[in-house]
Structure 1
């Protein structure tokens, strides 16, 4: 069963073709698995081999072209006719002599598309330099245009059903954060906290099970809280350490990220002093957000808030988020940073992550929000503060749990 009605997929396709027409693209080659999912419904862990969704400006349905082993999945998981699923033999997989783009180009030539204008997602993880080289070699009469982020831009404004999936992802994120934070105690291991988080991300809630997130949980600890994007080790937590947890609930591939910082026992004075500054800035931003603002204007609210305390942040404040696959849950379109002129519209969704990192410590407190008709609303309702755990887990009678 597809997660959306066929009419919604067709409306997405219509908007995509409008942009293709504006850019003079006859055939759009989609290799981003999130964009493939968005337009076709296809969802499988097959993106480690070459595959492609092909949108032709004058055809009602796209083509899915991929590995023979995955073709049945494409028949089951897409809304297109079965004959629009085309498979290449396995001798094209990880072969020095045969490349899947040779096969794909032959399909285009057989269909009389060899001299068309092709749009290609030039800056995507799963479209390689060799893939582009093989396409150009086999399609000498074709012209190629950069169509990077074309579909991504259509994805920015979510439908009501997409927002509902993100709300479900948010409930999963909250559950995983509560369980993960509770496990951060002296003597516990980082890997055990990561396992606890993963367990609850996948089991989800009573109503809705979870999906695998596009990014693993981040878990920098102690002085490593000064370094974003670190994962976990088998090191034990110690009393007095701070731990940053950044995770995302995921439902039907829709993500709601959430980050918090927890101190094991009494926080360092500098961290305790920093926390209310970060929270004040977040609150100022969430109060200010409204349709019609640019992403740059949103960032300026944060910049002016922390500037009062002599603090500057080099990295962006946030980014558009939603449907995605590894290695990223961001949409790669709008960023909440100085100079971004993207205009906020209702049902755009952003991860607001004003992390502050210094030489030996840092803090992350984040929110994912939806732009509404008059302002914004956060997806989660988790305490927005520096969290403080007792050093050891206690049972109901106050005894230490070993």
Structure 2
């Protein structure tokens, strides 16, 4: 792996917390993701199933984790199944985990080769009453390609129709929402790499450069720092493209006078960073660009004060929306009278700020977790207000990653330039 070693205690503790949520005589099974095809004999780079990684630390295809706390045989209470390597695999694909390496990574004593799984499964199903299987239950997920989990669920229900099947996803959503100290360490590193890429961009951008050239600078910095690459599709939008929320074509030439909206983040050890900045292509903001930037920055600073223990997402978004309304009135984009008489279910600020201010962050950039759970210490949220004025070809978004603590919060990206003066100064260098 490109990233440094992770203490197996992280995964041991994650499994312990998961086991505590299981009723007696439960069996839980987690599968690695498929290697996805492209065309002909091509494949995409492998990306592990985040729940399997969270519970085992294994970053390899064709892996299965079994958790059966009440199994009669102690060796069957935690089992990691790995793909047995061969000379052919070594020649064509490279090294795979040995059993001893699997023990070191996951902190699991019982490691078996994958071909032992059917017989062990049959034995454990004879003991189990409740069977926990996994699926993607993210609230915004659109799953059109059949996954390994989906095939496995169908096969299990066909072969063992009388067992009680339960959903593992809600349990993982509950656990993954609270980050441990080791997870925060990994997320800090993802943020550091992201910040270094941003500083690199500040010294690179000038009129005439292409958006994809900027993207290449970012990816270069990511990969030279031990990141696998971007945690999500990087948004490099200049001029009018900055007003498109999920603009990823990145194929426009930056023009003098444009503001360039950057939304990117490194992945490190499968954990995501998520940063947004809006910088002047010419190195200096125009008076109007400064005005809008400062408005977004004020909303950003207010929103940060609301990311505290006990608050909740609907109350939070309403409060941020009210501050944004005030800023949009000052910018002559909204009329104060119209705002006073608006439909509360269709606030006028949505024309210029159509997305939410925050989302969970972790192994997924839009991480799992119950949306309406009150904020708790250990949660990490993004803070990303923006104003998009299509008629002015101007879009500005500012985003940092915020860790909620027992006494307030901590900005995990506090060292990344955010103020106007700092950005202009660094671009002049």
TM-score bin (small chain)? 0.7 to 0.9
Is residue 316 of structure 2 the alignment partner of residue 316 of structure 1? Answer: no
**Contact 1:158-1:347 at 8 Å conserved across structures:** yes
Q: How does 1:295-306 map to 2 (within 5 A)?
A: 295-306=313-324
Q: How does 1:220-299 map to 2 (within 5 A)?
A: 220-265=237-282, 271-299=289-317
Measured at CA, do residues 182 and 387 of structure 1 come closer, stay the same or move farther in structure 2, by a change above 3 Å? farther
- Which position in structure 1 is the counterpart of 2:46? none
Q: Deviations over 1:254-311 (max 9, x none)?
A: 3221110122236577644332221111101112332122233322331121122342
Is there any run of 5+ residues in structure 2 with no aligned partner, and where? 33-48, 90-94, 138-142, 329-333, 335-348
Q: Deviations over 1:200-242 (max 9, x none)?
A: 12223xxxx4343431322123222121222244442222222
Q: What TM-score do the two structures reach when normalised by structure 1?
A: 0.78
How far the C-alpha of 1:67 sits from its partner, in A, is: 4.2
**Contact 1:260-1:386 at 8 Å conserved across structures:** no
Q: How does 1:3-402 map to 2 (within 5 A)?
A: 3-6=6-9, 8-21=10-23, 26-31=26-31, 33-44=49-60, 46=61, 51-59=63-71, 61-65=77-81, 67-69=83-85, 72-73=96-97, 75=99, 76-77=101-102, 78-81=105-108, 83-88=110-115, 107-113=120-126, 116-123=129-136, 126-127=147-148, 129-204=150-225, 209-265=226-282, 271-308=289-326, 309=328, 310=334, 311-312=349-350, 313-322=353-362, 324=363, 328-335=364-371, 340=372, 342-359=373-390, 360-380=393-413, 381-385=415-419
Instruction: Give the Cα–Cα distance (whole angstroms) in 2 for the partners of residues 251 and 213 of structure 1.
Output: 9
Instruction: Give the Cα–Cα distance (whole angstroms) in 2 for the partners of residues 240 and 134 of structure 1.
Output: 58
Q: What TM-score do the two structures reach when normalised by structure 2?
A: 0.73
Alignment coverage as a number of residue pairs? 359
**Contact 1:194-1:232 at 8 Å conserved across structures:** no
How far the C-alpha of 1:251 sits from its partner, in A, is: 3.1
Instruction: Give the Cα–Cα distance (whole angstroms) in 1 for the partners of residues 174 and 191 of structure 2.
Output: 23
**Contact 1:40-1:79 at 8 Å conserved across structures:** yes
Instruction: Give the Cα–Cα distance (whole angstroms) in 2 for the partners of residues 110 and 198 of structure 1.
Output: 47
Measured at CA, do residues 314 and 237 of structure 1 come closer, stay the same or move farther in structure 2, by a change above 3 Å? closer
